[in-house]
Amino acid sequence: MNGARSVVETLLGAGVDTCFANPGTSEMHFVAALDQARGMHCVLGLQENVVTGMADGYWRMAGKPACTLLHCGPGLANGMANLHNARRAGSGIVNIVGDQATWHRPHDPPLAADTEGMARTVSAWVRTCSAAADAGRDAAAAIEAACTLPGQVATLVLPSDASWDEGGEVAQMHAPTAQPVDGHAIDNAARVLRSGRKVLLLLAGAAALDEGQAAAWRIAAATGATLMADYVIGRVARGRGRVQLERVPYSTDLAIEALAKFADVVLVGAKAPVGFFAYPGKPSRLVAPGANVHVLARPEQDGVAALRALAEALRVPAAAIPDPGPRPEVAGGAPTPEKLAQTVAALLPEQAIVSDESVSYGRGFYKFTHAAAPHDWLHLAGGAIGDGLPVATGAAIGCGGGRRVLSLQADGSAMYSLQALWTQAREKLPVTTVILSNRKYAILVNELKAVGASPGPTAMRMLDLANPELRWPELARGMGVEAATASTMEECASLMKQGFGREGPFLIELLV
């Protein structure tokens, strides 16, 4: 068998059975191998950032990596922003990038680029396969790297001759062993929690899902500690039966305020909070000056096991998670963020997934959605806009289409990767998108004001999206997705119900 076939069989043997792809000429032997092998579900994205964002969303819900198939150099570059987001979310991706044949590359053909150099900027693991005989082994190593906690971007660069040459050998991946829970860290956290000081347990990674929350809640209920989710987080389990977590706020000022009262911050899979951006005269670190930061579990350790061990060390009893009260009612009248959140909480189906790239509009959504049916909420962890639609798409695929996805999406960032809608139509995915159409880069208008300048005409030309207006229903229909416009919450609720009842995707343009 050739090298490409050995890679495909190695992937399938390790349970990697979904391939998000946008191949080019140098990947044609790989495509042929995908054709010959059985069992790989191949999903086309019409631009590479859609491909990598789908792989990220897939990992978050499937809990195992998909592979990508990208075209050499510039094709990888197109997908790097969402690989950056995946890196920050702790998502595992087997990122396969075709490349020039080993003996052709020295001639510097037009599409030759520093593929490895590009890959290193977004990957935890990079290897260029040098021969077909190594391709299977290299693929196994890539899968292992992708599955290493918390999940990593592992880039395998596959020159075309390593694909087409004979001598490929299927390899077995060795499941990475999680780093053990650190007894000293448990003891230290127990000591801190018994100190009587104000303690924050800051959750990220798996610690923010069901089991982690349950263990964390036992600890918090018994010790009086506060629980929060990190701002930089890929997925939070939410709704009835889950802890009413808030996230560390995006805004530096609000985050400093929210963290000011804690003398001790215990990190569970999270990093110590840092401002998204610097501002003159404001600090980089968001915890209170003089606060102690403790690590219970690093992102590459098992945070859930650490929380369980901590609960045991503290001998805390079982504790029921408080009920959030009744579901809100559907809201009416002119749209506001609060009303949209209430309406989402009212209508969200059981076990839905929310892909949230609402950017500025949605910063208060959490407060109004605790009483929704149980659901998972997916966030833009790396801040590179353009992951909402692809993550929604990949998440739907990661659940085999069995769970409803609601994509809450700002208009400016939606334009970064709108091609994802086409894949939603092609795969007939149960994704309902709500475009929050404010026709500007609202976050930047605010940031510019924060600089002390009121935006003049030149600046507004770079911040407004109103001239011409983006017409989302036409854009969606152009890619095969049915769509409609809402300008009141009643219309939005009615369309949302309609969307949730459909087999395939639907898009609502909400004029806000």
Which residues, 139 to 178, sit near a second copy by CB under 8 A? 160-161, 164
3-state SS track over 446-469: HHHHHCCCCCCHHHHHCCECCCCC
CA–CA separation, 340 vs 215, rounded Å?
31
Is 502 a binding residue for a second copy by CB under 8 A? The answer is no
Site for a second copy in 392-421 (CB under 8 A): 412, 415-416, 418-419
Q: How far apart are CA 484 and CA 502, in angstroms?
A: 14
294, 283, 231, 234: which is closest to 260 by C-alpha?
A: 283
Residue 42 as a binder of a second copy (CB under 8 A): the answer is yes
CB neighbour burial string for 411-443, b if at least 16 within 10 angstroms, e if fewer: bbbbbbbbbbbbbbbbbebbbbbbbbbbbbbbb
Site string for a second copy, 207-236 (x = CB under 8 A): ------------------------xx----
Q: Could you please report the per-residue DSSP string of 406-438?
A: EEEEEHHHHTTSTTHHHHHHHTT--EEEEEEE-
Cβ proximity to a second copy: between 161 and 300 the closer is 161
Which of the stretches 33-41, 55-63, 314-322, 327-335 binds a second copy when contact is defined by CB under 8 A?
33-41
Count of residues binding a second copy (CB under 8 A)? Answer: 104
- The residue (of 285 and 363) whose beta carbon lies closer to a second copy is 285
Residue 472 is a binding residue for a second copy (CB under 8 A): yes
Binding of a second copy by 7 (CB under 8 A)? no
Stretch in the footprint of a second copy (CB under 8 A) among 148-156, 205-213, 400-408, 453-461: 453-461
Q: According to the binding rule CB under 8 A, does residue 103 interact with a second copy?
A: yes
CB 221 to a second copy: min, Å: 31
Residue 117 tokens read as: 């150099």
Question: Six-digit token pair at 439?
Answer: 């026709």
The answer to whether 438 and 472 are in contact (CB under 8 A) is no
Among 226, 477, 491, 498, binds a second copy (CB under 8 A): 477
Angle separating helix axes 28-36 and 3-13, nearest 10 degrees: 50
How far, in whole angstroms, is CA 176 from its chain's centroid? 22
**Which residues does residue 405 pair with via DSSP β-bridges, in sequence order?**
353, 431
Using the contact rule CB under 8 A, the part of the chain among 16-24, 59-67, 238-246, 485-493 near a second copy is 16-24
Q: Could you tell me the smallest distance in angstroms from the CB atom of residue 248 to a second copy?
A: 11
Smallest gap from residue 30 Cβ to a second copy (A) = 10
* Residue in the structure block whose two tokens are 């000293």: 184
According to CB under 8 A, which one of 289, 326, 456, 503 is a site residue for a second copy? 456
Nearer to a second copy, 414 or 489 (CB): 414
Is residue 114 involved in binding a second copy (CB under 8 A)? yes
Q: Is the peptide bond before 468 cis (omega within 30 degrees of 0)?
A: yes
Of residues 322-381, those binding a second copy (CB under 8 A): 381
**The one segment of 95-103, 194-202, 205-213, 395-403 that binds a second copy by CB under 8 A:** 95-103
The DSSP line for 296-352 is EE-TTB-HHHHHHHHHHHHTPPP-PPPP--SPPPPP-SS--HHHHHHHHHHHPPTTE
Amino acid sitting at position 158: L
Q: Minimum Å distance from CB 392 to a second copy? A: 18
Q: Does 289 bind a second copy (CB under 8 A)?
A: no
133 binds a second copy (CB under 8 A): no
503 binds a second copy (CB under 8 A): no
- Residue among 470, 487, 488, 500 that touches a second copy (CB under 8 A): 470
In whole angstroms, how close is the CB of 385 to a second copy at the nearest point?
8
Regarding 35 and contact with a second copy (CB under 8 A), the answer is: yes
What residues numbered 231-260 form the site for a second copy, per CB under 8 A? 231-232
Exposed, middle or buried: residue 114 (CB in 10 Å: 0-12, 13-18, 19+)? Answer: exposed
For position 277 contacting a second copy by CB under 8 A, the verdict is yes
Q: Which is nearer to a second copy, 337 or 412 (CB)?
A: 412
Of the residues 13, 17, 46, 374, which one makes contact with a second copy according to CB under 8 A? 46
Query: Is 278 near a second copy (CB under 8 A)?
Result: yes
Query: By CB under 8 A, is residue 205 in contact with a second copy?
Result: no
Q: Which of 60, 64, 84, 238 binds a second copy (CB under 8 A)?
A: 84
The rounded distance, in Å, linking the Cα atoms of 239 and 220 is 19
Interhelix angle 388-398/48-62, rounded to 10 degrees, is 50
Nearest residue (CB) to a second copy, 382 versus 390: 382
φ and ψ at residue 101, rounded to 5 degrees: -60, 145
Closest distance to a second copy from the beta carbon of 434 (Å): 17
| DSSP per-residue codes, 126-187 | EEE--SHHHHHHHHHHHHHHHHSTT--EEEEEEEHHHHHSB--------PPPPBPP-HHHHH
The correct pick among 177, 184, 196, 280 for binding a second copy (CB under 8 A) is: 280
Q: Which is nearer to a second copy, 81 or 340 (CB)?
A: 81
Q: Specify whether the CB–CB gap between 205 and 150 falls below 8 A.
A: yes
